[in-house]
Amino acid sequence: DAGVIQSPRHEVTEMGQEVTLRCKPISGHDYLFWYRQTMMRGLELLIYFNNNVPIDDSGMPEDRFSAKMPNASFSTLKIQPSEPRDSAVYFCASSRGLEYTGELFFGEGSRLTVL
Amino acid sequence: AQSVAQPEDQVNVAEGNPLTVKCTYSVSGNPYLFWYVQYPNRGLQFLLKYITGDNLVKGSYGFEAEFNKSQTSFHLKKPSALVSDSALYFCAVRDMNNNAGNMLTFGGGTRLMVKP
């Protein structure tokens, strides 16, 4: 398997623009997680899905952030409008179900810079 | 609620010396414990896990970790450090009895610097 695939790897945009980050989880994994990593706040869980359904979005910072998972092989994280404080590395991760031990498999991340 | 503490922001060790990266946890039930490593500009990679059984767990790249229930600790160790071990290390916990979902809670990370 190719692992968790994220795109783009790098994104530079201007304040106010819409940003869409994409993720393809590992086939057969039914949990998908979006994390954000910054120097100041470390690794933060934004939202996670189980079987394409959002389970907990309490980590989403505000209404400018939204995430979708239209099918088992694709998820998006959208920021509209983007702000400089959204600059971070955004990671997608997937895992198998609760009956397994739950280790996460991470993508390589999308580094977002908002000017 | 579950939580993880990594008390050291950075650990410095000379190549060839043993290394320890500390982790303590808090869960209401029994823990699943994990260590991940992050190299520069990369995602987190799974190193090892404790689920049940032997308290000493062996993982990738010669790393091991010891589960200590009485001290609620899960320290990462390696007998002889390599310069290539320099990276950011994360401890994580999942409460086996947590019905809130398949969520891991991560510590703040410890940067390991191995000098030649």
Closest CB to B44 among A50, A55, A106: A106
**pLDDT score recorded for residue B98:** 61
- In chain A, residues with a C-beta closer than 8 Å to the C-beta of B43 are 4, 91, 93, 106-109
Q: Is B104 on the interface with A (CB under 8 A)?
A: yes
Query: What tens digit of pLDDT does each residue of A82-100 get?
Result: 999 999 999 999 998 766 6
Query: What tens digit of pLDDT does each residue of A1-56 get?
Result: 689 999 999 999 999 999 999 999 999 999 999 999 998 888 999 999 999 999 98
**pLDDT score recorded for residue A54:** 94
Instruction: Determine the distance in angstroms separating the CA of B36 from the nearest CA of chain A, rounded to an integer.
Output: 9
Q: Is A93 on the interface with B (CB under 8 A)?
A: yes
The Cα A5–Cα A15 span in angstroms is 26
**pLDDT score recorded for residue A100:** 67
**pLDDT score recorded for residue B90:** 96
**pLDDT score recorded for residue A2:** 81
**pLDDT score recorded for residue A38:** 93
Q: Please indicate whether, in this complex, the C-beta atoms of A102 and B32 are within 8 angstroms of each other.
A: yes
Surface-to-core class of residue A74, CB atoms within 10 Å of its CB (0-12 exposed, 13-18 middle, 19+ buried): middle
Peptide bond into A8 cis (omega under 30): yes
Query: What tens digit of pLDDT does each residue of B43-68 get?
Result: 999 999 998 889 999 999 999 999 99
Residues 67-96 of B with CB under 8 A from A: 90, 94
Query: What tens digit of pLDDT does each residue of A52-84 get?
Result: 999 989 899 889 999 999 999 999 999 999 999
Is there a contact between B25 and B74 (Cβ–Cβ < 8 Å)? yes
Query: What tens digit of pLDDT does each residue of B64-115 get?
Result: 999 999 999 999 999 999 999 999 999 999 877 665 555 788 999 999 999 9
State in Å, rounded, how far the first CA of chain A is from the last one: 36
Instruction: Determine the distance in angstroms separating the CA of B81 from the nearest CA of chain A, rounded to an integer.
Output: 25
**pLDDT score recorded for residue A1:** 63
- In chain A, residues with a C-beta closer than 8 Å to the C-beta of B46 are 103-105
pLDDT band at B1 (very low <50, low <70, confident <90, very high): confident
Q: Please indicate whether, in this complex, the C-beta atoms of A42 and B46 are within 8 angstroms of each other.
A: no
Q: Is A49 on the interface with B (CB under 8 A)?
A: no
Q: What percent of chain B has pLDDT over 70?
A: 95
Comparing CA positions, the residue from A102, A97, A31, A45 lying closest to residue B50 is A102
pLDDT band at A105 (very low <50, low <70, confident <90, very high): very high
Find the closest chain B residue to A111 by CA distance.
B41
